Structures are given as C-alpha cells and as structure tokens.
C-alpha cells in the first residue's frame, strides 16, 4: 500500500496525469449534502473511433452496409443498430448528429481536436472540454474534483485529456485508467473503481496524521513564500484538493458496493458499465463533468476496428447499450436527467467501405455523434449522409458546432470564453449551436 506521502505525490501528478484506481475503505452511509444541482455533463468517450455505419447510420441494402440489421426505435423514422435495443426504446432522449465532418484522421490529432475543439498546433495548450466545463460549472467548496475521467486510455494523446492553460486545478482525476498497469482490481466479478490508497496506512493514528499534516503545512508555507510562480501555486492547489478528498465523506461516491446488486448488474460488469454507475453517483454529489471511456479499456483494440470489426463492435455495442440506457433511467429516476447533458463521440468515424480484413479504417469526413438528456430535443437525427455513407448531404457540422451545442445545452451563455495566460479570451467552442437539437 502507498504511504500517505506517496499518495499525495501520486495525486499531485496524477490528478491530471496518473491513474488513480485502487482500494479505499467503505465509509459509513450518510445523507447526501444539499447540493445546488445546476448543470452537469457526462462525456461517453469511444476511444479508437466508432463506426457510424454499424451504430447510428446504417446503410441497409448497400455494399457498405455490413453485417448488422437496423431496428426501429421509439421515434418515428429513427433507426439504430440491432445491438442497441435498449437505447432504441429511449430514442426520444437522443439526438443523433449524422453530418459530423472533421479534418483529422489520426488518433492523436483527432483526439485532441474533438476533446478541445482545436487542432493540435502552435504553442497554445488548449483545455479539454472536461476542464473547460469544470471551470464554468464547478463549485469551489466541494471536496470532490470537478473533472473525473473513468477508464481512460491516454496513449494516443495525453494532452487531449489535460487542462491546458486553465492549469492543474481543472485536471481530471483519473479512475480505472486502462493505460496504468495494475490500476484495475476486481471485486466479486465487478471492476473496482476506487481512488487508490485514499485511506491512511494501518497504525497511523489520528494524532500522528494530524502532526504529519501540520508539518507539511509548515514546510509548504515556507516553500510558497519563496516560490510565488504559477507552478508552485498549481502544485499546492492539487495537494490541497487531495487532502480535502482524503478527509471528506464525499469520497464514498467511489464505493460502488453501496449500490444494490441488481442495479450494478443492469449497468453491466464492464469498466464502462460500472463507470456509468460511478458517473451517476458523482453527478448526484455535484460533480459538473464526468467522462466514461469505452474502447481500449475493454482490453482489446476497442473501436479501432481495422480487422474482424463486427464481432468487436457487437461486444462494444452490448456494453454501451446496457451502461448508457441504465444511466439515463437511473438519472431520470433521481430527477437528474433534465440537468445532465450526455455527449457520445470518439475521435473520428470509420470508412463506410469495408476493407479486405472485414474491418473499417479511419474516416473523419462523414460520421456521427449523439447528444442526450438535459437541454436536448431528442427523438431525431440531424443531418444526412449519402446512400453509400461517403459524404454529408445535409446538415454538415464540425467539432466547433458540436461543442457549441453542448455548451448551450448545459446552460452556458453563447460565446463563453476563458482567459489564456497571454490575456487573450479563448472561446470554449468556436462554432454555431445547432438550434434544431436544443430544447
């Protein structure tokens, strides 16, 4: 087990760059605090690039159509893959954007573009949408971080997950990251999504812990007095956040064993399914932004299905269908769906044409994203691709339009911006909100 000092060091780096997933003791149950539940966002990130023609924009009867069948949904004229039956019954909450067209077909560059709204170029480090929304929607008095990432795979581009010029205060807390060896434990057949070693070592009494904390505060005070730069302040901010979480009853949010077994089963035993459950628990406690990844965290190639793609997509779709549909029902039952906007997307789509390896390749020209929940007029598809899926025929949008729509759906003012270190206001999204999908 990590020492308390090692935990602080891990969180100091890892609140924004190292996986935090492991064990901490269950806390005694207590009533949730009275939180001002303004608005929240859950990003369902499909690492690897999901195939739109095998999920939301099938092409039945065409050579590009593939193996899957279409099924009717609860919304007239809207049809999904046969492997998304639960989401099909909830289509009135979903708006499928079929006209997305972006310019990056590389995993690293595409991830950065879609997650920040900006292409990776120049010296400016742009914040991820999670950091930006945590900055705009967060509460300064909460012990829980405002930005949590579950099941992340950062190898394509770590900077795409970062806070950019907003600083480490808005870095995500990584839980169950798939690119951190040994980060994931199993408990009773479920992945364990807990913050690593938040408990102090056995034998460390309250008095001894308090003395250590007082010593740290004294040393830190002297350090800050002689180092007033941005890095020192950011370092202290992250440490203080770690200490608040370690001493807070709100940390019980990460203990999924507190949930009924039936509900956990409904979400699914995958990292994604249990991550969706954790996302609900975090939103319930006032966390403004939570990301749940489905892709390489599954242990395979995820949505990067260059070969034998249909078997992989069937499995991924099954996990997606269970986790996402249960998440929306759970949020609705708790009165949280109307204040929570959900965005489903990856770094790009995949070629409509099936390659000789029975897979699909990278394709940013015409693909799909989905918005759901609060602020979204569901039950529709916005945009249309050609019969072969190769091009957008109507309703073309880019990443700026998508993120601008998300920002308006969560209640932010149009053209909201954050100030960069050089004194330049940087818009959260440089695009036009899609009025047709906003409620």
Please give the backbone phi and psi of residue 48, each rounded to the nearest 5 degrees, phi first.
110, -20
Query: Which segment of 1-5, 268-272, 398-402, 432-436 scores lowest on mean pLDDT?
Result: 1-5
Helix%, strand%, coil% for the chain, nearest 5: 35, 15, 45
Angle at 131 between CA 158 and CA 301, to 5 degrees: 35
Of 180 and 387, the structure prediction assigns the larger pLDDT to 387
What's the DSSP call for residue 99?
E
Give the pLDDT of residue 198. Answer: 59
Report CA Rg, the chain: 21
In 247-308, alpha helices (H): 261-267, 271-284
Contacts of 51 (CB under 8 A, 6+ apart): 66, 303, 305, 309, 313, 349, 350, 360
Of 144 and 377, the structure prediction assigns the larger pLDDT to 377
- How many Å separate Cα 341 from the centre of its chain? 12
Going along the chain from its start, the domains and CATH numbers come out as 4-27+38-437 (3.40.720)
196-211 mean pLDDT? 66
146-158 mean pLDDT? 93
Secondary structure class of 429 (helix, strand, coil): coil
In 227-260, alpha helices (H): 230-246
> What is the per-residue pLDDT across 334-380, written as a single tens digit (0 to 9) for each?
999 999 999 999 999 999 999 999 999 999 999 999 999 999 999 99
What's the DSSP call for residue 438?
B
Contacts of 82 (CB under 8 A, 6+ apart): 68, 69, 70, 71
Torsion (CA) 115, 117, 123, 128 in degrees, nearest 10? -30
269-296 mean pLDDT? 94
Give which of 136, 67, 52, 143 is closest to 101, Cα–Cα.
Answer: 52
Query: With 90 as the cut, is the pLDDT of residue 411 above it?
Result: yes
Q: Alpha-carbon distance 267 to 65, whole Å?
A: 29
To which H or E segment does residue 71 belong? strand 70-72
Q: Alpha-carbon distance 18 to 175, whole Å?
A: 9
Give the pLDDT of residue 199. Answer: 57
227-238 mean pLDDT? 61
Contacts of 122 (CB under 8 A, 6+ apart): none
Query: Which segment of 17-21, 125-129, 140-144, 389-393 scores lowest on mean pLDDT?
Result: 17-21
Number of Cβ atoms within 10 Å of the Cβ of 209: 15
Contacts of 227 (CB under 8 A, 6+ apart): none
In the chain, what's the furthest Cα-to-Cα distance?
72
pLDDT band at 240 (very low <50, low <70, confident <90, very high): low
Query: Which segment of 153-157, 217-221, 317-321 scores lowest on mean pLDDT?
Result: 217-221
Residue 36 token pair: 């001002």
Q: Beta strand pairing status for 340-345 and 94-100?
A: unpaired
Q: Alpha-carbon distance 353 to 62, whole Å?
A: 10
Q: Alpha-carbon distance 265 to 268, whole Å?
A: 5
Q: How many residues does the chain have?
A: 439
Secondary structure class of 404 (helix, strand, coil): helix
Give the pLDDT of residue 132. Answer: 96
Task: Report yes or no: 171 and 162 within 8 Å, Cβ to Cβ.
Answer: yes
Q: Alpha-carbon distance 350 to 53, whole Å?
A: 8
DSSP secondary structure, 295-310, as one string: SGGGSS-TT--SSSHH
Q: Alpha-carbon distance 373 to 65, whole Å?
A: 29
Residue 369 token pair: 């994203």
Quote the strand ranges of 129-188, DSSP E: 147-150, 173-175, 185-187
Contacts of 154 (CB under 8 A, 6+ apart): 160, 161, 177, 179
Cα separation values, 217 from 125, 233, 246, 248, 300, Å? 31, 14, 16, 18, 44
To which H or E segment does residue 328 belong? helix 309-333
Cα separation values, 300 from 311, 316, 327, Å? 12, 10, 24
Residue 150 token pair: 């579950």
Give the pLDDT of residue 395. Answer: 98
Of 115 and 26, the structure prediction assigns the larger pLDDT to 115
End-to-end CA distance of the chain: 49
């Amino acid at each position: 087990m990590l020492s308390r000092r090692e935990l602080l060091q891990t969180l100091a780096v890892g609140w924004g760059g190292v996986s935090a997933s492991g064990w901490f003791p269950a806390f005694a149950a207590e009533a949730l605090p009275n939180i001002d539940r303004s608005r929240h966002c859950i990003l369902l990130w499909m690492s690897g690039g999901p195939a739109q023609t095998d999920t939301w924009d099938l092409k039945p009867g065409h050579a590009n159509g593939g193996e899957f069948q279409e099924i009717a949904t609860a919304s007239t004229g809207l049809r999904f893959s046969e492997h998304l039956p639960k989401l099909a019954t909830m289509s009135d909450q979903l708006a499928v954007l079929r006209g997305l067209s972006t310019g990056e077909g590389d995993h690293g560059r595409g991830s950065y573009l879609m997650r920040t709204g900006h292409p990776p170029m120049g010296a400016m480090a742009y914040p991820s949408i999670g950091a930006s929304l945590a900055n705009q929607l967060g509460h300064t008095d909460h012990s829980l971080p405002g930005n949590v990432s579950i099941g992340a795979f950062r190898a394509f581009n770590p900077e795409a997950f970062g806070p950019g010029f907003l600083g480490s205060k808005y870095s995500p807390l990584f839980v169950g990251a798939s690119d951190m060896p040994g980060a994931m434990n199993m408990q009773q057949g479920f992945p364990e999504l807990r913050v690593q070693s938040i408990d102090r070592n056995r034998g460390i009494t309250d008095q001894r812990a308090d003395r250590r904390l007082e010593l740290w505060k004294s040393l830190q005070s002297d350090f800050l007095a002689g180092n007033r730069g941005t890095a020192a302040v950011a370092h202290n901010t992250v440490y203080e956040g770690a200490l608040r979480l370690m001493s807070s009853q709100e940390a019980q949010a990460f203990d999924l064993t507190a949930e009924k077994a039936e509900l956990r089963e409904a979400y699914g035993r995958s990292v994604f399914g249990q991550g969706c459950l954790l996302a609900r628990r975090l939103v319930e406690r006032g966390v403004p932004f939570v990301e749940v990844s489905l892709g390489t965290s599954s242990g395979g190639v995820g949505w990067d299905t260059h070969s034998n793609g249909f078997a992989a997509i069937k499995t991924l779709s099954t996990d997606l269908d269970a986790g996402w549909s249960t998440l929306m029902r759970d949020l609705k039952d708790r009165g949280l769906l109307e204040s929570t906007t959900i965005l489903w997307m990856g770094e790009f789509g995949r070629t409509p044409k099936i390659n000789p390896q029975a897979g699909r390749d990278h394709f940013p020209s015409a693909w799909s994203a989905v918005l759901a929940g609060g602020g979204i007029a569901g039950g529709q598809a916005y945009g249309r691709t050609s019969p072969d899926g190769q091009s957008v025929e109507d309703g073309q949008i880019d990443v700026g339009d998508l993120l601008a729509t998300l920002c308006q759906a969560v209640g932010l003012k149009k053209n909201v911006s954050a100030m960069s270190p050089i004194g330049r206001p940087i818009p959260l999204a440089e695009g036009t909100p899609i009025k047709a999908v906003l409620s």
